[in-house]
Amino acid sequence: MTPPLAIGVDLGGTNARAAVVDPGSGEIVSAHKEPLRDRAPAKVVEVVARAVRHAASAAGVEVAAAGAVGVGVAGQCLGATGVVLNAPNLGWRDVAFGELLSAALGVPVKVANDLAVAAWGEKRFGAAKGLEEVALVFVGSGVGSGLIVGGRLHNGATGVAGEFGHVKVRPARATTAPRRCGCGQVGCLEAYTSGMNVAARVREEIAAGAETALRRLSADDPARITASLVDEAARAADPYAQALWAEVSELLGTAIANLVTLLNPARVILGGGVLLGCPALSGLVRSHFDVQVSRSATRGLTIEHAWLGDDAGVVGAAVLE
């Protein structure tokens, strides 16, 4: 008997992507993406609802046939309540998004962190399939993780487990002032290692007079500074880029090592444009990881890239339990 279709949404800071998914195979039957031009919650609800209806229409199904819609949000979510506690890229604090979207669509809505649902997608259909203990780590515009513990998605007591990007890596009383994170706190891993924050830091330091080949590579256009451009400069032996990557890679490699030491997963799944798209940085991260991780936690450990890529979020959201 063919299983009913399911609907998932990947809600980021710039786009909302909805997909109709076959929950038996993880195959995406149809998908639709909408840009976010206004991040006010009511406007985002309109955009997400429109994306969901377009995807459902393309698949020839009614939204109600899915029974529920799952949403992965780039933010901290309060358990099964549907409340988004803190979504820096959307500028949200304490938004009852699940309730608002449910009213717009007329079906129940399940809301979870975007990397938690990506981990669940990989568990059901990707690199974590068949494994009971897995840590997924993505480094892209932001930094985060999703945890599979005992074969289940681990959300913690109030739903905010796995906020890897907000572990603190710089003390508040450091010699130089710690960088402020989009979450509002200072010293977070994400503030130092995400693609968005790396680019912002490089722009600041170039404006302050830093000498680097990145000036030439970006044609003196700050908007062209990206993590991948820093990686290119580092591979070309630019001292500034190499020093920055030495710092960033140590922070990331040590943090991932600590995660493995703490959780003892069978597999670490890596993803995100910064980790997968910056080969010089990735090699340095792995070197620091190998040095810092507890040897006993690496027995049988495998490290894989995410298999589902950008589809992990919508697929995982569609099959949220």
CA-to-CA separations, 108 to 4, 67, 98, in angstroms, rounded: 16, 7, 8
- pTM for the full predicted model: 0.91
Structure tokens at 134: 């897995």
Instruction: Encode the chain (321 residues) as per-residue pLDDT tens digits.
Output: 345 899 999 998 889 999 999 999 999 999 999 999 999 999 999 999 999 999 999 999 999 988 899 999 999 999 889 999 999 889 999 999 999 999 999 999 999 999 999 999 999 999 999 999 999 999 998 999 999 999 999 999 988 999 999 999 987 666 577 898 988 899 999 999 999 999 999 999 999 999 999 999 999 999 999 999 999 999 999 999 999 999 999 999 999 999 999 999 999 999 999 999 999 999 999 999 999 999 999 999 999 999 998 899 999 999 998
Neighbours of 151 (CB within 10 A): 12
* Residue 283, C-beta contacts closer than 8 angstroms, at least 6 positions apart: none
* Residue 315, C-beta contacts closer than 8 angstroms, at least 6 positions apart: 8, 19, 21, 26, 28, 121, 124, 125, 308
Cβ distance 70 to 110 under 8 Å? yes
Neighbours of 173 (CB within 10 A): 8
